[in-house]
Amino acid sequence: MQMKYSRGALAAAALLACAFPAYAQRAEENPVVGAGDAFGRSIGAERIGLYNDQEVRGFSPIQAGNVRLDGLYYDHQGGTISPRLVQGSTVRVGLTAQGYLFPAPTGVVDYALRGGGPNQTVSVNLIAGPYEGWGSEVDGGLPIGGGLSVNFGLGYRHNEIAPGDVGDTFGRTAGLTWRGDRNAQVRVFWSALDIFGDNATPVLLPSTAGLPTAEPIQFYGQNWAINEAGLMSLGLLAAVDPAPGWRVRAGLFRSEVEQERNFADLFRNVGPENFGDRVIVANAEQQAGSTSGEIRVSRTFDEGPRRHVVHGSLRGRSVVSLRGGASVASFGRAEVGDPAALPEPTYQFGPRTRDELDQYSPGVAYDGFWRGLGEANLGVQRTVYSKTVTRPGAAPTTAEEAAWLYNVGAAWRATPRLSIYGSYTEGLEESGVAPDNATNRGEVLAPIRTRQRDVGLRYAIREDLRVVAGVFEVEKPYVALGASNQFGEIGVVRHRGLELSVAGPIAPGLNLVAGAVLMDPQVTGEAVQADLVGPDPIGQTDRVLRLNLDYRPGDGPWSVDFGVAHSGERPARVDNRVYIPARTTADVGARYRFRIGEARAALRLSVTNVTDEYGWNVTGGGALFPTFPRRYTAALVTDF
């Protein structure tokens, strides 16, 4: 895979956009303004709210396989979705999942495809920072007649997430949209994202003695441990109203990821003395490809003040992956933060394991709406799952499972300002892939049964200022690194908590998005009773607080914004013998809007982690990696 691109060629591509006049597209992007709640919203590169595509109520919707593209089921491979393909995402959980077809216990992240509109649009984004990072992006669309329009995207980023820790991405997207009578629309898209020159950032596995005390400022990995990967997405979406009261939607998608080079730089058994056993894992070429999609037929009946909608849906996916065959090199005891160069080992890759997975889920659902009173929804799915594993030198083994899954929810409009809601949801969700520090590294784990209950209320202080408060409980098998260093199910985890949200304008020009999650995460099972596993799930905290403010005086060109985030302490080991302290960080930023000729432009300045707080994050596999230090970024967006 050729992944070398000249800056000159990419800059020329950006300048070509100036030849196309367009309506404003990205200069007014601002996730705080217009946010309806604090449960998670992203526009472009900015995210706000309690939740995101990686964490909802302590779990990951992406890892669980709960991804949608414009509301349709999509099985994405590779974790990263190109920002050239999607313009943002919304987390569907709690009240925001009311009326959403087949919600999921771990939450759903719904991505909005970029482009596809009937207007001519071209936006150019030039980025400087953080550190010596830079980037350029072009997104646009052009009507070509006959109901047809094309859209395109091109973006190159040289990322420096911490001093010396660099990596590059090159993304491109092309699409075609047709619009016809009866609300007919057909969209096809192709998107590719190359990741190259990406340093393998060292990760630490803490000992029972405590957290490392070192605070490395410079990158201390190896210049030969470079990750390279390519991701490709291809899709077709169609929708039409074939007759009054009928709506048909369908989507068919292909997602592929190929990791040509992949390294994990591990420091095992690191304590306060800042030394660990250094192991670098080099993975053989890893591949995964998925064909997925959904067809949905909806019938709407109106009956006075009541509206009834009946849905029939069929979702499915077929996934093939090649994994394993890693080469492991040990370098003895090493100091965290020491940038000393190590000799590149001779790799001895082994044979790979082939995983084949097929799943389909037919379902029916009902949504009922009663004007002035409320709404109710009910869904049932029959999901059938089959997984075949072919290990080197062994006969294939097949595991199958079939399950009925139910969801029910309702919202009652008690007063014109107050609504009360509740829901119950079951799911069969993905449990992830074993990390590189596990003995079964790379293994694609079997799906797990999950359940979620919640109840709450929404109160409209004003039409545009709302408060949401609710309690929830999510229960699923606990998947983590066990005492034998095997990654898999080691108990049952339950997240029970309270979530609060306030969002909307609180004064002229001043917008607020604030939220809190107060949670009691708990693990139970035989391993907990035997004191092999702690009662607190690894990486989970009992509190998360988020606050975002955006102030724009009048309709002036300037606006300023402020954000603060707090999280409580969290265990850094499965046995709970080491905890990461609570942490509070703050971000500040500003926007200046102006014109370049007839084009609208906006200059975005931001500083994240203003106080330069140093801390640690931890994965479910027990790997520590540092939080981002203070970072400065500037971006100039122009809509031609």
| Per-residue CA distances from 247 to 139, 253, 311, 438 (Å) | 30, 20, 9, 47
- Would you say residue 4 has pLDDT above 60? no
pLDDT of res. 96: 81
Overall number of domains in the chain: 1
Query: 2 lies in a domain?
Result: no
pLDDT of res. 35: 83
Q: What's this model's pTM, rounded to 2 decimal places? A: 0.88
Query: 530 lies in a domain?
Result: yes
pLDDT in tens, 608-631: 999 999 889 888 778 898 888 899
Q: Which range among 102-116, 458-472, 567-581 shows the weakest confidence by mean pLDDT?
A: 102-116
CA–CA dist 509, 490 (Å, integer): 51
pLDDT band (50, 70, 90) for residue 25: low
Residue carrying the six token digits 């102006």: 594
CATH number where 581 lies: 2.40.170.20
Given a contact cutoff of 8 angstroms between Cβ atoms, the answer to whether 573 and 622 are in contact is yes
pLDDT in tens, 561-581: 999 999 999 999 999 999 999
CA–CA dist 603, 626 (Å, integer): 30
Domain range holding 396? 7-282+295-339+351-639
pLDDT of res. 344: 94
CA–CA dist 629, 240 (Å, integer): 49
Mean pLDDT (whole number) for 403-427 = 95
Mean pLDDT (whole number) for 306-333 = 95
Query: 346 lies in a domain?
Result: no
Query: 418 lies in a domain?
Result: yes
pLDDT in tens, 39-69: 888 887 788 888 888 888 888 888 888 999 9
Query: 529 lies in a domain?
Result: yes
- Would you say residue 135 has pLDDT above 60? yes
* Three-state SS at 7: helix
Mean pLDDT (whole number) for 517-544 = 93
CB atoms within 10 A of CB 499: 26
Percent share of the chain, pLDDT over 70: 96
List Cβ neighbours of 306 (8 Å cut-off, separation of 6 or more): 368, 369, 370, 371
Query: 1 lies in a domain?
Result: no
| Per-residue CA distances from 249 to 71, 99, 111, 311, 362 (Å) | 10, 17, 16, 11, 15
Given a contact cutoff of 8 angstroms between Cβ atoms, the answer to whether 624 and 572 are in contact is yes
Tokens describing residue 623: 């790997």
Query: 355 lies in a domain?
Result: yes
pLDDT of res. 482: 78
pLDDT of res. 112: 92
Query: 345 lies in a domain?
Result: no
* Three-state SS at 368: strand
Q: Which residue has the higher pLDDT, 606 or 98?
A: 606
CA–CA dist 314, 362 (Å, integer): 4
